[in-house]
């Protein structure tokens, strides 16, 4: 049986974050996950980046904030001539943004960014990379207090930057991005409710009671904010969760079907193939090459 690699990160339990730089990296680390957020900067290579159930190309400058327990890895296809591939990372605790200090006016934008990254990850543009890269290279050269100040400066720069969200619970990128960017408390309340209850029956009536609006008003409100109707978004969310389970576990497909809120296997297979252009079993097989044997796992 095969499993994804669970990485035990070097960050000490009493440390705010862990930062390191790999100036000559081969990008040969397998598909893995860990409990921490990870800010990862890749330079001077091209290839594929796997984040949850998404596979996307990356170019010679790539900066991504990855949520806790999200499967990820780089697959290098080309190193730029006369240059070494370089990786810089910061890992920090998944509960850090829930500390009271991040509810203050000065830091709430960092909290909001982390909350969005919990759904998968956030990709930053090249102009942000040009600002962040030199700060990452200086981070490990400071004394401990100056490191903390620079760490918060980096988070602030990222939170204030333009960004593209990877919502691995919703494969419709535009809908996920619009919903997350809305900053609507009602929308966030709906999304959190879906996250907590997707395995159960969810109706528009449930959502309308949740946010104190009529079902028709709720439907129009959700469509305005996400550009998709509620049932469409809910189905995409469930399919995203199923895709995660297919790549992260060895559960039977029938078990995954019911765990994600579908009532029967035939309907699940039909909807999954419509969304992913392949059956659940075919989807699982696509990722087998990125899985490592159990004997190679960190305990």
* In the chain, domain spans: 2-167, 173-289
The answer to whether residue 2 scores a pLDDT higher than 50 is: no
What is the Cα–Cα distance from 165 to 147, expressed in whole angstroms? Answer: 27
Please give the biggest Cα pair distance in the chain: 62
pLDDT digits 0-9 by tens, 116-170: 888 889 999 999 999 999 999 898 787 888 999 999 999 999 999 988 888 776 4
Bridge partners of 79? Answer: 45
Give the per-residue pLDDT at 5: 67
Residue with tokens 């339990």: 13
Mean pLDDT value of segment 212-226:
90
> What's the per-residue H, E or C state across 55-118?
EEEECCEEEEEECCCCCEEEEEEEECCCCCCEEEEEEECCCHHHCHHHHCCCCHHHHHHHHHHC
Per-residue confidence band for 258, with pLDDT thresholds at 50, 70 and 90 = very high
Mind listing the pLDDT tens digit for each residue in 67-116? 988 888 888 887 766 677 889 999 999 889 989 999 898 998 999 899 88
Query: What's the rounded mean pLDDT across residues 8-15?
Result: 74
Residue with the larger pLDDT of the pair 235 and 14: 235
Least trusted range by pLDDT, from 27-31, 53-57, 196-200: 27-31
Average pLDDT value over all residues in the chain: 83
CA dist list (Å): 297 to 31, 40, 70, 74, 225:
11, 22, 16, 18, 42
CATH architecture of the domain with residue range 2-167: Sandwich (2.60)
CATH architecture of the domain 173-289 equals: Orthogonal Bundle (1.10)
């Amino acid at each position: 049986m095969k499993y994804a690699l669970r990485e035990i990160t070097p960050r000490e339990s009493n440390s705010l974050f862990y930062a390191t730089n790999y100036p000559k990296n081969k990008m040969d680390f397998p598909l893995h996950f860990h409990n921490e957020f990870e800010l990862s900067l890749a330079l001077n290579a091209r290839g594929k980046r796997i984040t949850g159930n998404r596979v996307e190309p990356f170019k010679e400058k790539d900066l991504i904030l990855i949520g806790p327990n999200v499967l990820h890895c780089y697959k290098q296809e080309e190193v730029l001539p006369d240059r070494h591939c370089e990786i810089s990372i910061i890992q920090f605790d998944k509960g850090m943004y829930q500390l009271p200090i991040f509810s203050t006016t000065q830091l709430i934008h960092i909290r909001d960014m982390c909350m969005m990254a919990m759904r998968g990850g956030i990709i930053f543009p090249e102009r942000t990379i040009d600002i962040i890269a030199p700060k990452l290279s200086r981070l490990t050269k400071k004394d401990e207090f100056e490191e903390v100040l620079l760490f918060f400066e980096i988070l602030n720069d990222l939170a204030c930057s333009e960004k593209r969200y990877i919502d691995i619970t919703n494969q419709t990128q535009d809908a996920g991005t619009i919903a997350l960017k809305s900053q609507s408390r009602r929308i966030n309340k709906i999304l959190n409710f879906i996250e907590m209850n997707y395995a159960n029956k969810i109706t528009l009536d449930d959502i309308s009671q949740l946010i104190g609006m009529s079902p028709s008003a709720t439907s129009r409100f959700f469509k305005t904010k996400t550009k998709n109707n509620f049932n469409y978004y809910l189905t995409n969310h469930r399919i995203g969760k199923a895709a995660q389970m297919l790549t992260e576990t060895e559960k039977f497909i029938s078990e995954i079907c019911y765990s994600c809120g579908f009532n029967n296997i035939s309907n699940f297979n039909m909807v999954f193939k419509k969304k992913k252009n392949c059956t659940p079993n075919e989807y699982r097989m696509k990722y087998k090459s990125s899985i490592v044997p159990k004997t190679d796992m960190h305990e």
